[in-house]
Structure 1
């Protein structure tokens, strides 16, 4: 009977360790997803900024060409 209690305690400790490992793996995966989403968002913001600057330059060139005429 004592051997059965010891095996139960070891089994429960191993189960808790396995649960903690799965929880940490899930947290790491979630953090990786968030950092990937933030990277994509930063890239999209820079693309929008570059396109906006390009449109402003083209608009300025058109206005200077109209003013010369």
Structure 2
């Protein structure tokens, strides 16, 4: 029974943490939208760079999997 209360309290804390993150994301989105179109272009550029990094990571992981498969 005590363990159930601990789990319940931890779940509440995690829930409030998640709500805080969502509220922060919404606040950031609103402030960025107010700051204008230039920031939107900067965000698009950052997303494009992130996508390039993700593609490079995928390629590296694929190379690792292939080399491990060849060893087996």
TM-score (norm: length of structure 1) = 0.52
Residue segments in structure 1 that go unaligned for 5+ positions in a row:
1-28
1:53 counterpart (53, 56, 59): 59
* Count of residues in Structure 1 that have an aligned counterpart in Structure 2: 38
Counterpart of 1:31? 37
User: Rg bigger for which structure?
Assistant: 1
Counterpart of 1:11? none
Instruction: Give 1:49 deviation, angstroms.
Output: 0.5
In angstroms, what is the RMSD of aligned CA positions? Answer: 1.0
Residue segments in structure 2 that go unaligned for 5+ positions in a row:
1-34
Q: Kindly indicate whether structure 1 or structure 2 has the higher relative contact order, using CA contacts under 8 Å at least 6 residues apart.
A: 2
